[in-house]
């Protein structure tokens, strides 16, 4: 477990997305690995800049959808042939064409639920407390109009004085120390 006291990291605030991306890319190139960017709207380039290229949401969605569809088809087959066979005008009990519609719906249902819950789980949400919320400028700007780069204390390169100077070189609006 990471330490829950002391410094979480250093938070640099930028005015424009371009400044953030430039700083993030440079930090990544300089060997920083424990870093994250925060923006008020999806900023694909910033995720790329810190080396976050792909995620597991599509895989989870695929698995969820296939399992959901298979489960529904199996359930209908079991109910119609074994558990409760009904003779409707002499039609076969295993009338699989009629099972397609609920199977289709459940494929979508479980794929969609997997996508949504998978996203939340991979992001570690709900997480109502996070050290960054201790920073007033983060609370004011991160979900409105400012762009943040956080160098985390867990990175081996982290040093309170040197890293602050390092961030200042990108000319941010401010650099704040974030406590746990």
Q: Which span sits near another protein by CB under 8 A: 6-14, 119-127, 156-164, 168-176?
A: 119-127
Answer yes or no whether residue 173 interacts with another protein by CB under 8 A.
no
> In which residue are the tokens 């960054």 written?
132
Q: Segment 132-161, which members bind another protein (CB under 8 A)?
A: 132-133, 138-140, 142-145
Q: Segment 10-39, which members bind another protein (CB under 8 A)?
A: 16-18, 21-22, 25, 36-39
The helix/strand/coil state of 179 is strand
To the nearest whole angstrom, how small is the minimum distance from the Cβ of residue 9 to another protein?
13
Cβ closer to another protein: 120 or 160?
A: 120
Answer yes or no whether residue 55 interacts with another protein by CB under 8 A.
yes
Cβ closer to another protein: 72 or 175?
A: 72
Instruction: Give the C-alpha separation, 175 to 150, whole Å.
Output: 9
DSSP 94-163: --HHHHHHHHHHHHHHHHHHHHHHHHHHHHT------GGGG-HHHHHHTTTT-EEEEEETTSTT--HHHH
Cβ closer to another protein: 3 or 58?
A: 58
**Quick one: the chain helix, strand, coil %, rounded to 5?**
50, 15, 35
Cβ closer to another protein: 72 or 167?
A: 72
Q: Residue 56 in contact with residue 150, Cβ under 8 Å?
A: no
Answer yes or no whether residue 81 interacts with another protein by CB under 8 A.
no
């Amino acid at each position: 477990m990471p330490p829950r006291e002391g410094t979480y990291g250093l938070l640099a605030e930028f005015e424009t997305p371009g400044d953030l991306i430039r700083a993030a890319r440079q930090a990544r190139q300089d060997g920083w690995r424990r870093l994250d960017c925060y923006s008020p709207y999806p900023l694909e380039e910033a995720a790329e800049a810190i080396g976050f290229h792909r995620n597991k949401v599509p895989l989870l969605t695929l698995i969820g959808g296939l399992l959901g569809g298979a489960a529904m088809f199996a359930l209908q087959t079991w109910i119609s042939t074994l558990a409760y066979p009904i003779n409707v005008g002499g039609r076969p009990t295993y009338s699989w064409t009629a099972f397609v519609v609920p199977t289709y719906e459940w494929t979508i249902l479980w794929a969609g639920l997997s996508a949504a819950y998978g996203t939340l789980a991979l992001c570690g949400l709900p997480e109502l407390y996070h050290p960054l919320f201790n920073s007033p400028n983060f609370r004011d700007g991160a979900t409105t109009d400012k762009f943040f780069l956080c160098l985390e204390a867990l990175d081996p390169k982290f040093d309170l004085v040197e890293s602050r100077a390092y961030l200042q070189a990108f000319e941010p609006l401010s650099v704040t120390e974030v406590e746990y």
